[in-house]
Amino acid sequence: MARLQIRNLEKVYSNSFKAVHGISLDVDDGEFMVLVGPSGCAKSTTLRMIAGLETITGGEIRIGDRIVNNLAPGQRGVSMVFQNYALYPHMKVRSNLAFGLKLKRRPKPEIEDATEAVANTLEIDPLLDRLPKQLSGGQAQRVAVGRALIKKPDVFLFDEPLSNLDAKLRASMRVRITDLHKRLKREGQSSTVVYVTHDQTEAMTMGDRICVMKDGCIMQVADPVTLYNRPENAFVAGFIGSPEMNLMEGALAVNGGVNIGLAGQMLTFGEDVGSRLGMRGGDVLLGVRPQHLRIATNDEENALEGHVSHIEFMGHEVYLYVDVGDIRIVVVVPSEQYHPEDIRDDRIRLVPRETAVHIFDRETGRNVSLSANA
Amino acid sequence: MAEEITVRATTAELASARALAEGRRMHAISSAVRYALLAGVGFLMLYPLIWLIGASFKTNSEIFANPGFIPSEPTLTGYIEGWRTSTPYTFATFFWNTFLIILPKTIGTAISCAAVAYGFARFEFPGKRILFATLIATLLLPNVVTRIPQYLLFRDLGWLDSFLPLWVPSAFAGDAFFVFMLIQFLRAIPRDMEEAARVDGANTLQTLIYIVVPMLAPALISVCLFQFMWTMNDFLGPLIYLSSVDKYPISLALKLSIDTTEAFQWNRILAMSVLALVPALTVFFLAQKYFIEGISTGGVKG
Ligand SMILES: Nc1ncnc2c1ncn2[C@@H]1O[C@H](COP(=O)(O)OP(=O)(O)OP(=O)(O)O)[C@@H](O)[C@H]1O
Ligand SMILES: [Mg+2]
């Protein structure tokens, strides 16, 4: 049973590069927290500080009710699964699993029982007498998970554990890990997880909550649905969702309706956007997801006119790449709603769904269209 | 039409089978030539060794009379008399002395070099750069330069005419080459395993013993083998520090038989040389696999 609390955590590397800028994050007991962000945003650094593999240069980490800043990794009650498995190459799978318990001088029968139990859970019993080099990638990763599991730690740490596996295996391991987490939780074992990935599919499908990071700062912490529907800033909006949200530079003016001028055209939104808008005018980014744009019927007004540059047929949906002035946007249309005759001379008119429109302050990147709708 | 195609196909198959057989024969001939050449050169290189072994079974008068290596009347007198030596001690004493030097030296080298290399390769500490530079500098320093100061040092310690000067420096990682070799080897090994061990609860020493040393094993075995062979062959060290005959190792004892006999008993010297080769050769062949692995991985990856 342990809650992980991070307060104003900072990391300055020995070359005086500041990798982590005072982040604070709470992970509840039994929660599956995903750290996600582009390469180099200090996900691994943060995780390694929690594990104790990297010194903490500022702030505080608590696991349960202990401050662990100055504890050795082995005393923090954490287990870690590494990206490249990091199995001990000279030990059989069995000894790899048992190593942590042996160091703790647990009695032999207990170690054997625990090994059996973990091997059962992860279906690696037939592999117990093999050496790591005799395992496939997926098997090695299961052993690595087993090695973390056997210690019954307070907090599990995963650093991109699936990124060395092929797409199919990754999907099945994803399910396996979430199932395992649910099972631990059901059985009342401690099951707090911090899981690092740069893959947003993993983040969205696995996390109870997701912490989006950028350049050593936290951009937003929320559950997947909130993150998708109510991104707090343009970075999160662009990072979560596929294809990416369209972010179009424009000028906002509120007089009666909400008017946004972009690429020489004018879009007007009504009460729905107006009521939640926290900004009266200025430079903005208009954010609309590709799925929230539809092709206008002939007589419809208040649409963006653009020029279709190319079309990708994906099976169940169609991606249209449209140039509006010099802004390139993507539109996703379900296949059954796509009629090539709607596009005449490569011209197309698009209507954004008003309830799903986001407006970001271009200077701060903050989402100014969230406020009243909380 | 169909038949025609089959016929054509068979001719094509025949032709390709013939080409294949031809290729195989060429290959066989060229390997035969290559092996003959290699065997010839190999024999040339090994000839002194073969001659040595053959000559050790000859009588003293036959050694220089007969250039071939097969003795005309094989005899063991060389071995029997050589073993007895012209001193009050048998060669067993000298073998034992060598063993007493080699054992602590090899073990000490393995332990101390692994620890020092681990420190250099994995930890940051103040003065690391300077210390490492010093280590490399001692690698480049000619041995002769330090002979006299070392001698004076050991004299003041009262260690002259004992085995201590011969093995104690090595047991404190005095052989920079070995430390350097292990550092290069360690640098090629990712740190993840050690980090995993630390998360598993191992302290620094446990990580070293349970994780690093096993991964370092091939390199450590090479270190032990090198140290073993070099110590076997070391002549100058014992010559400088040992004065009593009862402490002589094999390398000095071989020279002893040359010194004390007016007419050199070559067959004895040769017989004892053959015996002196035996331990080194045995150890080498037993550990050959690790030895080669250690040198190549250490060299290539470093
Ligand atoms: N030992 C180090 N010394 C100096 N800077 C470092 C060190 N390790 C990492 N960094 C820097 O800290 C930043 C964060 O690195 P980190 O490895 O945490 O990124 P990450 O989010 O895990 O990226 P990725 O997704 O590529 O694994 C990077 O800019 C990196 O260059
Ligand atoms: Mg990383």
Instruction: List, for residues B205-244, the tens digit of each pLDDT value.
Output: 999 999 999 999 888 988 998 899 899 989 999 999 999 9
Q: If you take atom 24 of ligand 1, which residue's CA is the nearest one?
A: A39
Burial annotation B283-295 (CB, 10 A radius, 16+ → b, else e): beeebeebbebbb
| Cβ-based contacts of B124 with chain A (< 8 Å) | 14
Inter-chain touch B202–A53, beta carbons under 8 Å: no
B260: pLDDT strictly greater than 70? no
Please tell me what DSSP assigns to residue A54.
Answer: S
Q: Residue B127, Cβ neighbours under 10 Å: how many?
A: 8
With contacts defined as CB-CB under 8 Å, which chain B residues touch A75? 201
| Residue found under tokens 């005309």 | B72
The SS3 of residue A306 is: strand
b/e burial code for range B20-59 (CB count within 10 A of at least 16 → b): eeeeeeeeeeeeeeeeeeeeeeeeeeeeeeeeebbbbbbb
pLDDT confidence bin for A245, thresholds 50/70/90: very high
Which chain B residue is nearest to residue A49, measuring alpha carbons?
B199
Q: Domain B89-301 adopts which CATH fold?
A: MetI-like fold (1.10.3720)
Three state DSSP letters for A232-291: CEHHHHHHCCCCCCEEEEEEEEEECEEEEEECCEEEEECHHHHHHCCCCEEEEEEEECHH
State pTM to two decimals. Answer: 0.84
Mean pLDDT to the nearest integer, B244-259: 84
B214 and A104 within 8 Å at the Cβ level: the answer is no
Domains of chain A, start order: 4-229 (3.40.50.300), 236-361 (2.40.50.140)
Partners of A328 in the β-ladder: A323
CB A100 within 8 A of CB A86: no
CA-closest candidate to residue A73, choices A91, A52, A90, A56: A52
Q: Which helix (H) or strand (E) holds A328?
A: strand A327-334
Residue whose CA lies nearest to ligand 1 atom number 12: A19
Q: Does residue B264 have a pLDDT over 80?
A: no
**A167-186 vs A137-149: helix crossing angle, rounded to 10:** 20
The finding on whether A39 has its CB within 6 A of some atom of ligand 1 is yes
Contacts of A99 in chain B (CB under 8 A): 197, 200, 210
Among B167, B188, B179, B195, residue whose Cα is nearest residue B115: B179
Confidence of residue A70 (pLDDT cuts 50, 70, 90): very high
Task: Determine what percent of chain A is predicted with pLDDT higher than 90.
Answer: 76
Shortest CA distance to B123 belongs to which of B191, B178, B177, B173? B191
Could you identify the residue written with the tokens 């009710």? A65
**Is the minimum CB–CB distance between B215 and chain A shorter than 8 Å?**
yes
* Distance of alpha carbon A312 from alpha carbon B110, whole angstroms: 64
pLDDT tens digits for range B75-92: 888 888 888 887 888 889
SS3 content of chain A, % helix, strand, coil (to 5): 30, 35, 35
Range in A175-179, A269-273, B105-109 the model is least confident about: A269-273
Decide if pLDDT at B195 tops 70. Answer: yes
Closest residue of A to B191, CA-based?
A: A86
C-beta atoms of A78 and B199 within 8 A: yes
Q: What local confidence, expressed as pLDDT, does residue B291 receive? A: 64
- All residues at 6 or more sequence positions from B221 whose CB lies less than 8 Å from its CB, including other chains: B287, B290, B291, B294
| Contact between B124 and A14 using a beta-carbon 8 Å cutoff | yes
The beta-carbon neighbor of B201 closest among A74, A82, A90 is A74
Among B181, B215, B174, B140, CA closest to B295: B181
| Contact call for B198 and A84, based on CB within 8 A | no
Distance A217 CA to ligand 2 centre (A): 15
Helix runs in chain A, H state only: 43-51, 93-103, 108-121, 137-149, 167-186, 200-206, 224-229, 234-239, 271-276
Q: Quote the ligand 2 centre to A57 CA distance (angstroms).
A: 19
What's the CA gap between B261 and B248, in Å, rounded? Answer: 17
The pLDDT of residue A221 is 96
Supply the pLDDT for residue B302.
30
Would you say residue A209 has pLDDT above 90? yes
Take atom 3 of ligand 1 and give the residue whose Cα is closest: A13
Read off the amino acid at residue A31. E
Burial classification of residue A111, based on how many CB atoms lie within 10 Å of its CB (0-12 exposed, 13-18 middle, 19 or more buried): buried
Pocket test for ligand 1, best of A41, A82, A158 (most atoms within 8 A of CB): A41
Work out the percent of chain B whose per-residue pLDDT is above 90: 47
- Judge if the beta carbon of residue A19 lies within 6 A of ligand 1: yes
The β-bridge partners of A81 are A158
Taking CB atoms and an 8 Å limit, are A90 and B197 in contact across chains? Answer: no
Task: Compute the nearest-CA separation of A27 from chain B (Å).
Answer: 20
Query: Using beta carbons and an 8 Å cutoff, which residues of A are at the interface with B?
Result: 14, 51-53, 72-75, 78-80, 82, 84, 86-90, 99-100, 103-104, 147, 151
User: What token pair was written down for B59?
Assistant: 């009588």
Ion ligand 2 neighbours, Cβ < 5 Å: A 44
Q: Is A197 in the pocket of ligand 1 (CB under 6 A)?
A: no
Q: Per the CB < 8 Å rule, is B199 touching A87?
A: no
Cα(A114)–Cα(A150) distance, rounded to whole angstroms? Answer: 6
In chain B, the residue whose alpha carbon lies closest to the alpha carbon of A88 is B193
Domain segments of chain B: what residues? 2-49, 89-301
Write the DSSP assignment of B137-165 as a string of letters.
HHHHS-HHHHHHHHHHHHHHHT-TTSSHH
This complex has an ipTM of 0.87
Ligand 2: distance of its center to the CA of A72 in Å?
21
Q: Residue B5's pLDDT is what?
A: 59
Report the pLDDT value the prediction gives residue B6, as an integer from 0 to 100: 59
